[in-house]
Chains A and B, each alone.
Chain A
Amino acid sequence: RKEVEQDPGPFNVPEGATVAFNCTYSNSASQSFFWYRQDCRKEPKLLMSVYSSGNEDGRFTAQLNRASQYISLLIRDSKLSDSATYLCVVNSPYDKVIFGPGTSLSVIP
Chain B
Amino acid sequence: DAGITQSPRHKVTETGTPVTLRCHQTENHRYMYWYRQDPGHGLRLIHYSYGVKDTDKGEVSDGYSVSRSKTEDFLLTLESATSSQTSVYFCAISPRSETYEQYFGPGTRLTVT
- The answer to whether A45 and B104 touch (CB under 8 A), given A87-B42, A95-B31, A95-B50, is yes
Cβ < 8 Å to B, chain A residues 56-109: 87, 89, 91, 94-97, 99-102
- For A42, the chain B residues whose CB sits under 8 A away are 106-107
Please count how many residues in chain B sit with their CB below 8 Å of the partner chain's CB atoms: 24
Main secondary structure of the interface of B (DSSP, over half): strand
In the complex, which range does the number of interface residues on chain A fall in? 10 to 19
Contact A100 B90 (CB under 8 A): no
- The answer to whether A97 and B102 touch (CB under 8 A), given A44-B90, A87-B43, A102-B42, is yes
- The answer to whether A44 and B104 touch (CB under 8 A), given A94-B56, A95-B96, is yes
Give the docked Cα–Cα distance between A64 and B62 (Å).
35
> Min CB distance, A55 to chain B, in Å?
14
Contact B100 A91 (CB under 8 A): yes
Give the docked Cα–Cα distance between A29 and B15 (Å).
42
* Chain A residues near B (Cβ < 8 Å): 32, 34, 42-46, 49, 87, 89, 91, 94-97, 99-102
